[in-house]
Amino acid sequence: MSGRVIVITSGKGGVGKTTTNANIGTALAKAGKKVVMIDTDLGLRNLDLLLGLENRIVYTIVDVVEKRCKLKQALVKDKKNPNLCLLAAAQTRDKTAVTEEQLKDICERLQKDFDFILVDCPAGIEQGFQNAVAGASEAIVVTTPEMSAIRDADRIIGLLEAKEEIKSYHLLLNRVRPKLIKSNDMMSVDEVVDILSAELIGIIPEDTGIITSTNKGEPIVNDEKSLAGQAYMNVAKRIMGEEVPFLNLEEDNSFMGKVKSFFSHLVGKEKK
């Protein structure tokens, strides 16, 4: 077995790299794939929190590199899905504790046992980014429809294109707000794709459910009713080669959706 190594990166911080990582990883594992996620954000790890695994970490990637434990010992199994593992970052070291070569080596070793290796990249384009990209052959660039995020994504795409090892990269547009797009206050998906001229792999709507799911340490793909969860599930399917149409985010057309929007409108008015 030779697994695919996909790095999830963005340039800008706070656009949802780690959330994307947790959700795509969980979705792929739910589909029966063996998945390992590597948090390379040394010193600022958070992937463990989003997965609710923060209390199970004994060894980190730095322990593996410094040979205090075996690679397999450091893999933390997910609570629900035995197909899903996490290799946590050390919280108390900086980006220099692991080198590109070492990360490449870890990815190669994991490729034997896993279908997918998802590498969570730190924000920025410095050594942390270089390390994360080192072992990967594919990339997902996460961005939001905001100027700063798009500009940084463009920079990242430029860097990825210069890397020989990266064979393909895709764009994931996060935190899309259909209402704002409709009122022409937010760049539309097409416009963003046009500007960055990259192939799209997912559109994730802004969803308050993300906040609660993060609070609980449970990725939102586990909530099948959530729109963002469905969108992430579709991304996973596309990664696996399925052709899935993009979700229609325009309007919640179900009866309950209409009732909800009517009442929230009403409550909103009363509060004023």
Partner 1 sequence: MNDLFTNLYNKVVGFFHKVENEEENSKEIACNRLRVVLMQDRTNLTPELLDKMRSELIDLLSKYLEMDKDALELNLEQDGDQMALALSIPVIRAKDEAEIEAAIKAQEAEKAKEDAEKTSEDDDDDDFETDEGDDENSDEDEDSETDNADDEITEGSQSDNEDNEEDTEASDDSENEDSDNKVEEDSEDETSDNEDKKKAKNKQNKK
Using CB under 8 A, list all residues that contact partner 1: 43, 49, 52, 54-55, 58-59, 62-63, 66, 68, 90-94, 96-97, 99-102, 127, 211-212, 214-217, 263-264, 266-267, 270
Residue among 12, 91, 110 nearest 49 (CA): 91
DSSP string, 166-211: --EEEEEEEEE-HHHHHTTSS--HHHHHHHHT--EEEEEE--THHH
d(CA 189, CA 233): 19
Nearest residue (CB) to partner 1, 97 versus 153? 97
Cβ of residue 177: shortest distance to partner 1, in angstroms? 20
Cβ of residue 47: shortest distance to partner 1, in angstroms? 13
Residue among 57, 46, 56, 53 nearest 21 (CA): 46
Nearest residue (CB) to partner 1, 56 versus 237? 56
Nearest residue (CB) to partner 1, 112 versus 271? 271
Nearest residue (CB) to partner 1, 224 versus 270? 270
The answer for residues whose C-beta is within 8 angstroms of residue 115's C-beta and 6 or more apart is: 1, 3, 4, 28, 33, 34, 35
First to last CA, the chain: 60
Cβ of residue 31: shortest distance to partner 1, in angstroms? 26
Q: CA distances (Å), 254 to each of 183, 191, 213, 225, in order?
A: 22, 28, 23, 12
Residue 269: its H or E element: helix 255-271
Nearest residue (CB) to partner 1, 68 versus 155? 68
Cβ of residue 139: shortest distance to partner 1, in angstroms? 21
Q: CA distances (Å), 220 to each of 18, 109, 115, 215, 249, in order?
A: 12, 30, 22, 11, 17
Nearest residue (CB) to partner 1, 162 versus 267? 267
